[in-house]
Amino acid sequence: MTDDPSRRKLLKTSGMLASGVLLSGLAGVGAARADSPTGETSPVVELPAGRLRGAVEGGLAVFKGVPYAAPPVGALRWRPAEPHPGWPGTREATAFGPSAPQLYREGGDQVLGTHGSPPFDEDCLTLNIWTPAADSSKRPVMVWIHGGGFISGSGSMPNYSGETFARDGDLVVVTINYRLGPLGYLYFGGDGAGGNFWFTDQLAALRWVQDNVAAFGGDPDNITVAGQSGGAFSVAALAGARPKGRPLFRRAILQSPPLGLQIPTRAESLQRTATYLDILGAKDVTELRAVPWPRLIAATLQMFGRTARWGYWSTPFLPVLDGVTLDRDPADLLLTGPGADIDVLIGWTREEANFAFGLDETYAAATKDQVLARVRDTFPSRAAEAYTAYEEARPGARPVDVLMDLISDDLFRLPSLALAERRAARGRAVWAYQFDLPTPAHGGRLAAAHCLELPFVFNNFDKWSQAPFLAGLNPRVRDGLAATMHASWISFIRTGDPNHHPMPRWDRYDRDSRTTMSLDTVTTAAGDLAGYWRRLRPAVAR
């Protein structure tokens, strides 16, 4: 990796903006200056909901814990998000709001460490903003939606701080909280009633951004929504929304979207809700509204036990095809309607499923017969042939390796590839990548696992000190790849094109070249990188 002169210039320029324009520009449209209790000059913005006072952090104006919807508590639990009523006077926006209620284990796990930390509270519908200046510059906007298997994560995690993108790209960055687990994903049915409360939260947040981001120096007509895993699934689901007659966002970044999930129907979701009610000993939603949220979240552990299937990524709570908030597979929303005009950057990691299965000793002992039974779910009439194909693709593969590659393809790689194929066939803009750099952590068993690309995208390894899966990475290789990826993401957000000097030319994915960027120790534009797997499943090409 070589240093990028254009990137150094961008860093220098955005640094000047952050340090020089911030205070002088605060008197612009929708902004003011105020002295904080500590005597520092603090950024203040005037919004329809009321006045907000943020803080200056590292030369950026930062606003934390900003409510974008009414607290979903009491009678509003399991109701669609409603507008926030606003506040009198000046609201301090210098501390993050509580994260959405979720399971938490002190010390975390062997892969990410922690993914969402206390405090937790149902009153969690807040967002956070990083901007070089709350002025009238109309900067491109990035909205980040965190993942977490629909049960964990937070927009206030240090991992997802908007600092690097705002400073390095001269962007306005917004991160959001939304309802998780049972509070966001249970479905109760009823005539014309919708579910997907998580979706209504995210939609409310995007509407808030479109209506208010100009006051923070952002351009409401130049918004990119980005997310990873469950967050990337959300980005696709939001693509079909078009309130007020115009698209909510112009570009989409989907990192490891689990587009292979079988989204439950209303009937299937009601059955899952019945399982949850049985665990809690409640008969309906009215009784559940009287249950304290810690008990609701604790029941997630039993939901794992009741819903888990061998050889499948465990997801105790799932979105629902309710016909109200979501009536189609999210990938379809990026093919027709308002979603067809959105520029898309999509990709996956080479060994996605190693995240969930690579360190599991039970799966390490899996037999060929066990894995063949699972392969049969995907290839009913060609299980033996498919098993052999996966085995030959990885010399020395154990049964668990075949299983992990199959799950990676089922959930992530091939559905993402199918979306790229279908958009390309329609002449719609799409760029594809595969993250190939393996981590040496845990003896290499994780390889290029799910989530591994995140610190490279944000280029903020100092914020990931708690994450065991980064141990042992060569700093020179790590930092070089991070600089390349971070600059590509910034370029895409700013221009709709991920290319920048000096990386290799990254062409759009089309049906002739099938260009896919391999992100590794050496970044390479490859033709039909996943062709072996695509040909194994011909339906992907349709």
Which residues form the catalytic set? Answer: 229, 352, 450
The DSSP annotation for 438-451 comes to PB-GGGGTSBS-TT
415: tokens are 């559905």
456: tokens are 């490279």
C-alpha–C-alpha distance, residues 109 and 6, integer Å: 39
Question: What number of other Cβ atoms are within 10 A of residue 2's Cβ?
Answer: 10
CA separation (Å) from 205 to 129, 202, 247, 528? Answer: 12, 5, 14, 37
Cβ-proximal residues to 265 (8 Å cutoff; 6+ apart), any chain = 320, 321
Determine the length of the chain: 542
DSSP annotation of 507 reads P
What's the one-letter identity of residue 10? L
Best CA proximity match to 176, nearest among 150, 143, 199? 143
C-alpha–C-alpha distance, residues 542 and 418, integer Å: 8
C-alpha–C-alpha distance, residues 303 and 89, integer Å: 44
Best CA proximity match to 456, nearest among 447, 444, 464, 468? 464
Specify the 3-state DSSP secondary structure of 253: strand
CA separation (Å) from 393 to 406, 447, 462, 532? Answer: 12, 15, 36, 9
C-alpha–C-alpha distance, residues 121 and 478, integer Å: 36
87 and 49 Cβ atoms separated by less than 8 Å: yes
